[in-house]
Amino acid sequence: MSVIQTENLTKIFRVPQKDAGVRGAVKALFQPRYKDVTAVDGVTFSVEKGEVVGYIGLNGAGKSTTIKMLTGILVPSSGQVRVLGRDPHRERVANARQIGVVFGQRTQLWWDLALIESLNTIAKIYEMDPQRYDQLLEQFVDLLDLKDLLKVPVRNMSLGQKMRAELAATLIHEPEVVYLDEPTIGLDLIVKERMRAFIKQQNRETGTTVVLTTHDLGDIEELCQRVIIIDEGKLIYDGPLSAIKERFGKYRQITFEMARDLDGVDLPAGAEIVTQDGRSLVLRFDRTQTTASRVAAAVMEQFNVVDFSLAEPDLSMIVKQIYQGALHPEAV
């Protein structure tokens, strides 16, 4: 049985509409207007035990809203959601006992107290066996380098220290499912590396299922075998990371800087314009149909090229193409 199952999951928010100025404020007082905004639109997917799934999309795509429905914070407007066989909202407390959540921009730690106070309290509210807690605490302190932070109030920690503490608080009670909503936001490379290694180890050793939302594609490449891509609330891709890499990886990108503004360009078969802005031209080409030298030669024959560069496909380029509509039926 799947650990997480959603079917036609939909969330519609009712957002107040207010005109600018005093008149608008008065009007809103007597005649409030609302607009329905569909944040998540008929999303269906399932996640198996032990999977690490990247749930990605642009800002406002509906990632966090989906996570909040999976955690039981939000109630779906329609559709079904089951986590470990439960309705997360109806059975919120039982669901909460078996999940862990990091919201990158919020904290579950007690801001004014030393970290150890928060961890001790979390162990109690999750009804942990004291011996097991001591054992895990020792392990987490070592893996996340928390020794010097245990007696420090959370408000006195740097962002990186706080996120390491947050991760420890999320996983200390050994949840079966972990939702990480932008856990590496704003962190430096070293902290990111440490956090990724920790998540990877927890998944490998305890079989914890992880759903990760992030804008950092390094997190995805490092941790996920599978990605779900959501755009304007709709699921547009669900499959192995390797499959989209293979599918879109056949494209390469060339950027040209011209001596004068462009008006039009003829390209060989298999090449197309990505962006054209003044003297800058970005092309992509299918390397099964043509070559970089052929494309470059064609452009150079028509224009005076000042500079050009060739980029190998990486995940960020692939995801950018997908966000720009490369998965829409007419684009395929």
Partner 1 sequence: MAVLRRTARAYGAMMAMVPKLFMAYQIWVWMQFIVQIISLVILVSFWSAVYAGESSLSGLTLAQTLNYIILAQIFAPSTDTNMVFELGYMVRSGQIGMRLIQPLDLQLALYVQKVSEIALAFVFNLPLALIGWLLFRYHVPADPLVWLAFLVSLLIGNALLFCFDWILACASFYSTEVWGMGMLRYGVALFFSGALVPLAMMPGWLRTISTILPFSQALYTPVSLLSGITPLSGMPRIWLAQLAALVALGALSRFTFSRAVRQVTVQGG
What the block records as the tokens of 322 is 């997908």
Stretch that binds partner 1, among 1-9, 89-97, 187-195, 199-207 (CB under 8 A): 89-97
What the block records as the tokens of 19 is 């005109």
C-alpha of 156 from chain center:
27
Nearest distance, CB of residue 118 and partner 1, angstroms: 9
Long-range contacts for 297-301 (Cβ within 8 Å, ≥24 apart)? 298/266, 298/267, 298/268, 298/271, 299/254, 299/256, 299/265, 299/267
Cβ proximity to partner 1: between 103 and 285 the closer is: 103
The answer to the question of residue 125 lying near partner 1 (CB under 8 A) is: yes
* Cβ atoms of residues 187 and 160 within 8 Å: yes
Which residues, 48 to 77, sit near partner 1 by CB under 8 A? Answer: 64-65, 68, 71-75
* Alpha carbon separation from 36 to 11, 63, 68, 280 (Å, rounded): 10, 18, 18, 40
Which residues, 135 to 194, sit near partner 1 by CB under 8 A? Answer: 153, 181-182
Choose, by CB under 8 A, the member of 49, 86, 92, 287 that binds partner 1: 92
The answer to the question of residue 112 lying near partner 1 (CB under 8 A) is: yes
The gap between the terminal CA atoms of the chain, to the nearest Å, is: 33
Which residues, 293 to 322, sit near partner 1 by CB under 8 A? Answer: none
Per-position x/- string for 193-232, each x denoting binding to partner 1 as judged by CB under 8 A, each - no binding: ----------------------------------------
Nearest distance, CB of residue 37 and partner 1, angstroms: 9
Residue type, 261: D
The answer to the question of residue 33 lying near partner 1 (CB under 8 A) is: no
Choose, by CB under 8 A, the member of 9, 99, 211, 315 that binds partner 1: 99
What the block records as the tokens of 145 is 């380098």
- 104's CB contacts (< 8 A; 6+ apart) are 163, 181, 182, 183, 184, 185, 186
Residues that bind partner 1 (CB under 8 A): 13, 39, 64-65, 68, 71-75, 89, 92-94, 96-97, 99, 101, 103-108, 110, 112-113, 117, 120-121, 124-127, 153, 181-182
